[in-house]
A and B are shown apart, each in its own frame.
Chain A
Amino acid sequence: MQTLKLSKIGKKYADKWVVRNADFEVTKGRICGLLGPNGAGKTTTLRMIAGFLTLSSGEIIWKGKRVEPKDFRFRQSLGYLPESNPVYENLSVLEQLHFLAKVKIDDLQKREREVGRVIKACGLKEVEGQKIETLSKGYRQRLGLAGAFLGDPPILLLDEPTSGLDPNQVLEIRSVIKKMAKDKWVIFSSHILSEVQALCQDLALIDKGKIVKTGKIGRGGVKALEKMFVSFTGGK
């Protein structure tokens, strides 16, 4: 019952299925890596769960109950970091977080508390008054994560959060995710095998809009993961 289950979810545009019958489970406390080549359907899958796109088929079941991604109560349980980490360049770090908190959290005192908490947790204190347009990529990514963590949502959807970062920044972001992801349902989307290997315990491999493999991540390291990735996604 402690699962987030995607049951045959799909997205269709006109006559074309972008994601079809995606079926996998995320267990509480275990990070699930949604792995796949570019254009495989990872982002579309996360957008459907986040409610940005409607489901063309299937359903989402959380803790044994069917949930509707459009439902505001469900959305309050979600923290979503979209691909490419969209931010409001003209705002400061604090302004963006306060803005998101106002939309996401009803209680005024909790809002203030949460902004303070995520700033601390994501190491943003020293740049909190700075305009976002002046931030380094690493800090921007921390800000994106801080926005997703606002309200301490039990479900986290992270779409390629380490993409484009240098190795030091990757390690920093990884450590923030590990710290914040405890006892949550987390889907971590990536096409970088080493990232999935380092962070995730479970795996859902997607290719051409279909989930082609699910399971636990073995101890074989990146090599084993690479072998599986190539064999299931039709590489050579």
Chain B
Amino acid sequence: MRKIWAVSEKDLKELVGTVSGFIFLALFLLVGTWLYFQDFFLIGQADPGKWWSSLSFLMLLFVPAIGMGAISEEKKGKTWELLLSLPFDEKGLVAGKFLARALFLGLALVLSLGVAATLWWLGKPDLGVMLGGYLSLFMAGLAYLSVVIFFSSLLSQAAAFLVSFIFILVNSFLTQDLFLLRLPVWARGAAAKLSLGHWQAEMAAGLISLSSLIFFITWISFFLYLAWWQIKSRNS
């Protein structure tokens, strides 16, 4: 764990301490707040659902932005050779990279609590819904992150950003009627359940089921496993 934390700490320093990391974080918070409040006083409703939607949409860009260089930059700078010849392995590398960005994502969500507190003050929404909403965002963010880390192990930084953004966007269409209505009736339920959006919406409604947690954990493990496998494949 010490070695994994060493990698995470190094990456966190780069994320928090560099201009690009600061810009990503500031844009996430400022644009998210603007998206939410632009028509807030016109509608006159303190709707947490709209806040989750704003942040969810921004995470489509924010998470690929913070994860795109996770492995690709180590490969490009050849520092992965240095790391993987130390008493350290590919699993530790993937875990360290994931942990750093998960903490950075957590920091971004914590910093957005100011808006959530305003919502709480104005609309007194149900506490379960508020907690479920934040948990759904965090879990969806981790799931996006696992996808980005996989593509970062496979592609260059810019390509990893683009491909993971498209992948996550396409996945979100799985819950849309536009897509679902083209499928046979029997396949619609299964297709929707493959979407992160389906489970995220369930959690955001305050329903934290075991199946949704299992789905997120399986998704994250699967993509991190693919990243590990991809790094191992340098030998073949």
Contact = CB atoms under 8 A, between A and B. Distances in A.
Query: Contact size class for A?
Result: 20 to 34
B217 to A, nearest CB: 27
A147 B77 CA distance: 16
Interface hub of B6, B81, B82, B89 (most chain A Cβ within 10 A):
B82
B10 A88 contact: yes
Contact of B83 (A14, A54, A103): A103
Interface in B82-110: 82-89
Given A47-B81, A86-B77, A88-B79, A103 B86 contact: yes
B7 interface: yes
Contact of B87 (A52, A95, A99, A104): A104
A86 B3 contact: no
A80 B87 contact: no
B4 to A, nearest CB: 9
Nearest to A56: B235
A76 interface: yes
Contacts of B17: 90
Contacts, number: 67
B87 A103 contact: yes
B85 A82 contact: yes
A89 B81 CA distance: 15
Given A86-B78, A102-B3, A50 B10 contact: no
Contact of A13 (B77, B81, B236): B236
Given A72-B87, A86-B77, A103-B87, A91 B10 contact: yes
A50 to B, nearest CB: 4
A51 interface: yes
A103 B88 contact: yes
Contacts of A89: 77
Nearest to B88: A103
A87 B77 CA distance: 7
A90 B14 contact: yes
B77 A99 contact: no
B182 interface: no
A80 B85 contact: yes
A89 B74 CA distance: 11
A117 interface: no
B215 to A, nearest CB: 34
B85 A50 contact: yes
A86 B85 contact: no
B166 to A, nearest CB: 29
Interface hub of B81, B83, B234 (most chain A Cβ within 10 A):
B81
Closest 9 CB pairs of A and B: A72-B87, A50-B85, A102-B6, A86-B78, A86-B79, A75-B87, A80-B85, A82-B81, A52-B85
Interface of A: 13-14, 47, 50-54, 70, 72-73, 75-76, 78, 80, 82, 84, 86-91, 95, 99-100, 102-104, 106, 147
Given A87-B79, A104-B87, 13 more contacts: A51-B84, A52-B84, A53-B235, A70-B89, A72-B87, A82-B82, A84-B78, A86-B77, A90-B17, A90-B18, A103-B6, A103-B83, A104-B86
